[in-house]
């Protein structure tokens, strides 16, 4: 017993000696630690030393240190430590510093209870706009806010009956007058919820969505229509993503069994009509994935395809114009290009998908080109070279019926005067000696083609196939000595 007493006494004396030695406040120790009570020889001589406890010194007084970049607030931090780490020090508790006030930072579908500075940094990190809610004062409420858009079954009592509504967690919590309970990811038709809602054979189209959906007996939208799941309890209990439903990634147009339509692939939910050609009625409900493609003049065009109308504009006939056709939601719409063929329709095919557009007809300076190379420079103009002259590739139209228009001036550029000279011989016979080429059977037609190429000039029929007021002959003959 005596030995044990001496051992304890020894320990007590050593402890007293150490405590007596550690009577200095070192602003920094040789080891690098800040504001420690230690022996004087352990202090860093380049920093302040006081023969008292650190709690009694001014240079080791603790406060709140703010990291301006990260937005974090560290309590009980000595001023020197804060400044050495490029922080901003305040002689206050954290809850007394405005920069340390916490709020709810909403980032996409996530939330964090942090300072406003931290929220700005996190938002920038993810490339999102800052959404900081100062009105939310608790972390639990903050996290609940982030999940408020989660869909599920909202169960409540109504007229002494347990019923259900498919809605968001937020909307469920805001329902007044009812004791509600939210079941995330559940359908109201789930047997486990014990509500008056159950499976049905009805379907519906939902605004803003492509697919056909089942509807429960309470009128709530359930999962994507799949005839094989009509009696599947699990399918009627849990909310499924469209990627988990039948025919995902396929068109499913006209399918009687699957309602997983895809607008980008060319189908969407529409009410089934018995007049729909070639479509079988859905096994359940009255909605179907309608094909958004179009039929035009015996050809099929996919939803979104555009093409140029096959019309008389291709022959540049008076009164004609170019048109762009569009297949959209199963219907063909007509978009006219600028009148008088000041715009033409151009068309291209990209991997079997037709695209068309109206663009400006660059015919204006064709007549001033003197070489074939300049004439047919497609980057600058829409012209073609014919018989040493440059004419528009797509002849424009004019207000040729108006006296104050410029049609006469343009058409006169193709006017040609050809003089034929004959030599009269003895016996009365005549022989052509000059301008004889004008007598050929094709000359008049060639000259008329030049006129027509300039625009609504020359002799032709209009886009309805009707002839003009003149018979087309513009050759006058006379005799002279």
Q: Is pLDDT above 50 for 1?
A: no
One domain, residues 203 and 247: yes
74-96 per-position pLDDT tens digit: 888 888 788 878 888 888 887 78
One domain, residues 388 and 399: no
The pLDDT value given to residue 472: 47
What is 357-388 written as a DSSP string? Answer: EEEE---TTSTT--SHHHHT-TTT--EEEETT
How many alpha carbons fall within 13 Å on the CB side of residue 376?
8
One domain, residues 211 and 258: yes
Q: How far apart are CA 190 and CA 181, in angstroms?
A: 14
CB 399 within 8 A of CB 407: yes
Three-class secondary structure of residue 434 per DSSP = strand
Which has the closest alpha carbon to 263: 325, 330, 202, 215?
A: 330
36 found inside a domain: no
The pLDDT value given to residue 178: 65
**371-388 b/e with 16+ CB inside 10 Å = b?**
eeebbbeeeebbbebeee
Phi-psi domain of 185 (left: phi exceeds 0; alpha: psi -120 through 50; beta: other): left
Dig out the tokens for 470 from the structure: 């003149």
Number of Cβ atoms within 10 Å of the Cβ of 54: 20
Under the banding of pLDDT at 50, 70 and 90, the label for residue 400 is low
Q: Which whole number is the average pLDDT over 51-64?
A: 82
145 found inside a domain: no
459 found inside a domain: yes
Domain boundary among 292, 309, 331: 292
256 found inside a domain: yes
One domain, residues 256 and 352: no
One domain, residues 279 and 321: no
Which has the closest alpha carbon to 311: 300, 298, 299, 325?
A: 325
Q: How far apart are CA 438 and CA 162, in angstroms?
A: 100
Q: Report how far apart the first and last C-alpha atoms of the chain are (Å, whole number).
A: 165
424 found inside a domain: yes
What is the residue whose two structure tokens read 């228009």?
405
Under the banding of pLDDT at 50, 70 and 90, the label for residue 20 is very low
The pLDDT value given to residue 347: 93
Q: How far apart are CA 209 and CA 303, in angstroms?
A: 17
Which domain does 361 fall in, by range?
299-392
One domain, residues 374 and 428: no
One domain, residues 335 and 382: yes
Q: How far apart are CA 225 and CA 202, in angstroms?
A: 9
What is the residue whose two structure tokens read 């630690």?
33
169 found inside a domain: yes
273 found inside a domain: yes
One domain, residues 343 and 448: no
147 φ/ψ angles, rounded to the nearest 5 degrees: -100, 15
Domain boundary among 372, 392, 412: 392
One domain, residues 200 and 283: yes
331-384 per-position pLDDT tens digit: 999 999 998 889 999 999 999 999 999 999 999 899 899 999 999 999 999 999
Q: How far apart are CA 251 and CA 263, in angstroms?
A: 8
One domain, residues 288 and 309: no
One domain, residues 157 and 285: yes
Q: Which whole number is the average pLDDT over 224-242?
A: 97
Domain total for the chain?
Answer: 3
296-323 per-position pLDDT tens digit: 988 999 999 999 987 544 577 887 889 9
Dig out the tokens for 207 from the structure: 């605004």
20 found inside a domain: no
One domain, residues 333 and 361: yes
The pLDDT value given to residue 89: 84
CB 109 within 8 A of CB 151: no
Q: Is pLDDT above 60 for 18?
A: no
């Amino acid at each position: 017993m005596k030995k044990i007493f001496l051992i304890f006494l020894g320990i007590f004396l050593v402890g007293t000696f150490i405590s007596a030695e550690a009577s200095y406040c070192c602003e920094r120790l040789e080891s690098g630690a800040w504001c420690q009570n230690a022996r004087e020889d352990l202090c860093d001589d380049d920093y302040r030393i006081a023969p008292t406890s650190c709690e009694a010194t001014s240079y080791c007084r603790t406060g709140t240190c703010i990291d301006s970049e990260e937005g974090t607030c560290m309590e009980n931090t000595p001023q020197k430590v804060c400044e050495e780490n490029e922080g901003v020090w305040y002689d206050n508790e954290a809850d007394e510093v405005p920069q340390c006030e916490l709020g709810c930072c909403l980032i996409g579908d996530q939330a964090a209870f942090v300072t406003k500075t931290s929220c700005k940094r996190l938002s920038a990190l993810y490339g999102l706009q800052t959404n900081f809610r100062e009105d939310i004062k608790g972390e639990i409420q903050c996290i609940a806010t982030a999940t408020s858009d989660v869909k599920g079954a909202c169960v409540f009592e109504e007229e002494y009956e347990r019923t259900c509504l498919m809605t968001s967690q937020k909307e469920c919590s805001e329902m007044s007058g009812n004791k509600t309970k939210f079941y995330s990811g559940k359908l109201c038709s789930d047997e486990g919820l014990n509500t008056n809602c159950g499976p049905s054979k009805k379907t519906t189209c939902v605004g803003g969505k492509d697919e056909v959906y089942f509807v429960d007996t309470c009128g709530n939208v359930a999962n994507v229509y799949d005839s094989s799941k009509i009696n599947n309890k699990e399918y009627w209990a849990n909310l499924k993503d469209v990627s988990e439903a039948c025919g995902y990634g396929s068109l499913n147009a006209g399918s009687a069994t699957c309602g997983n339509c895809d607008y980008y692939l060319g189908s969407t939910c529409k009410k089934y009509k018995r007049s729909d050609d070639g479509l079988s009625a859905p096994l359940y409900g009255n909605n179907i994935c309608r094909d958004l493609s179009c039929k035009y003049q015996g050809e099929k065009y996919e939803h979104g395809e555009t093409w140029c109308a096959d019309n008389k504009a291709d022959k540049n006939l008076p009164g004609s114009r170019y048109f762009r056709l569009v297949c959209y939601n199963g219907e063909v719409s007509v978009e006219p290009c600028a009148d008088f063929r000041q715009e033409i329709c151009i068309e291209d095919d990209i991997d079997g998908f037709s695209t068309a557009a109206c663009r400006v007809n660059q015919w204006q300076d064709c007549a001033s080109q003197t070489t074939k190379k300049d004439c047919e420079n497609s980057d600058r103009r829409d012209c073609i070279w014919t018989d040493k002259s440059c004419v528009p590739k797509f002849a424009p139209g004019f207000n040729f019926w108006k006296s104050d228009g410029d049609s006469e001036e343009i058409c006169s550029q193709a006017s040609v005067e050809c003089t034929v000279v004959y030599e009269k011989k003895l016996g009365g016979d005549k022989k052509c000696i000059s301008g004889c080429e004008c007598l050929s059977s094709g000359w008049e037609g060639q000259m008329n083609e030049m006129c027509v190429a300039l625009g609504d000039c020359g002799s032709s029929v209009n886009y309805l196939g009707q002839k003009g007021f003149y018979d087309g002959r513009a050759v006058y003959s006379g005799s002279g000595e």
